Amino acid sequence: MGAALRRIQVGNALGAFGSGFTVPFLFVYVARVRELGSGTAGAVLAVFALSALVVLPFIGRVIDRRGPMPVGLAGAFVASAGALGFGLSSSAGAVMASSALMGGGIAVIHPALATMIVWCSTHTSRSRAFATQFFLNNLGLGVGGLLGGLMVDEHRPGTFTLLFVVEATMFLVLAGVLATTRLPRVSRVVHSGDNPTASAPEPAATGGGGWRTLARDRAMVLLCVLGFVMFFACYGQFESGLSAYAVEVTRISTSTLGIALAANTATIVVAQFVVLRWVEGRRRSRVIALVGLVWTVAWVAAGVSGLVAGSHVVATALLISTYALFGLGESMLSPTVAPLVADLAPRPMVGRYNSALALVKQCALALGPAVGGLMAAAGVYGAYIAMLVGCSLGITALALWLGRRLTPVQDNPLVRLPEPAVAEGREAEVSPVSGAEVAGARGELTSVV
């Protein structure tokens, strides 16, 4: 990686580390430490998600017009103010406002960082760049959550204040790292059609024309639908339906559930670059289709863990395997989905395409826990597992359908395309000259001299 991309990756890891410090403890902090009740804590989490849904439809246009750097810096400062406000707030109104600031700031940072990575990479190195970002992001979240859990004490509010101060500081450090990063003056985005060196006509980068262009891009629309199903069936279930299923049906303890979550992160950290080597050079649509099959096996394992709950060791092993298989699938997605978005995006719309995927993800993360929580509350766990097995198989079907709409270079950036016919013709005119004829010509020239 170049110097700019290294700085962006370091900043991303620091931001993730700060988020891991606090986000897992928001509910406990608001409900118990500040004694504002479970209702207020739930509203705080809802505001956190809603603020992202509010800003994401607009932030892509700003990134495309002003560039990702000022947007990333603004997001880091806003998120820092929100984190510091959390640590100092003691009333419901104050924590709501802090939640809106932090949620909106973090939502702004993600597409800005993604666009910076696109600018600083090429279509052949982009998969490795996004895989590295995903690896560092999970590593930062995992280490931050582990250290945060060791530091906090529910009976000592000052320990939580310290966590939020650390998070606010990490966002400021992220801003400092980005401020010292020199992005290329022109992004390296190339619209990857049949000819990877040819650029597509550039649509209007301002106003509603850009969004209309995106809506007419059938491959991108299909990728957004696919992304929604993926995020709904995986990330949207971790903290709601799957956790409830693990405790209520499989009957594992909350501490064992923590081990399962750790297995997910550990799988990503250990397998990411092994998986990356396997993914590089393969068709992206086929890799995403395989993720659907892996997650199908994961949900079947979760279902079986509930059927054999009487055998505690087997049930626990199956459930931990479920989380580990999700991690394996995530490792396969990180070098495929985000780089594919960049390769689909026309040059002046990279920020908008990244924001569109982030918006789809946020919608899935808002709807997924709601659906999972309602089905868990109703006790319809069989229907819950069947629904998610169907979603996983749907991922495979949608990915194969998407593959038919992608050009060879979009589906596999390392594919070797045949040379243009004109070049072949010129080669044919030169190639009949043999080595003997060249030597004879040189001999004649020597005799003349």
Residue 246 reports pLDDT greater than 60? yes
Residue 447 reports pLDDT greater than 50? no
pLDDT, average across residues 92-109: 91
> What CA–CA distance (Å, rounded) separates 124 from 138?
23
Residue 208 reports pLDDT greater than 70? no
96-119 burial, b at 16+ Cβ within 10 Å, e below that, comes to bbbbbbbbbbbbbbbbbbbbbbbb
Of the candidates 353, 39, 325, the residue with the CA atom closest to the CA atom of residue 219: 353
Q: How far is CA 125 from CA 185, 281, 353, 361, in A?
A: 19, 11, 19, 24
When mean pLDDT is compared across 62-76, 331-345, 381-395, 415-429, the lowest value belongs to: 415-429
> What CA–CA distance (Å, rounded) separates 211 from 420?
34
338-372: pLDDT as tens digits? 899 988 988 788 889 999 999 999 888 888 888 88
Residue 31 reports pLDDT greater than 60? yes
120-154: pLDDT as tens digits? 888 778 888 898 888 888 888 878 877 887 787 77
Instruction: Report how far apart the first and last C-alpha atoms of the chain are (Å, whole number).
Output: 53
33-71: pLDDT as tens digits? 888 887 888 788 788 888 988 998 889 889 988 889 999
Q: Which amino acid is at 208?
A: G
pLDDT, average across residues 263-278: 88
Structure tokens, 339 = 């780089």
124 C-beta neighbours (distance < 10 Å), count: 13
Of the candidates 115, 83, 78, the residue with the CA atom closest to the CA atom of residue 4: 115
Q: What pTM, to 2 d.p., does this model score?
A: 0.78
Residue 449 reports pLDDT greater than 70? no
Contact 129, 113 (CB under 8 A): no
164 class by beta-carbon count within 10 Å (0-12 exposed, 13-18 middle, 19+ buried)? buried
Long-range residue pairs from 260-264, CB within 8 A, at least 24 positions apart, any chain = 260/319, 260/320, 260/322, 260/323, 261/323, 262/142, 263/320, 263/323, 263/324, 263/327, 264/238, 264/323, 264/324, 264/326, 264/327, 264/330
Residue 213 reports pLDDT greater than 50? yes
Read off the pLDDT band of 185 (50, 70, 90).
low
Residue 439 reports pLDDT greater than 80? no
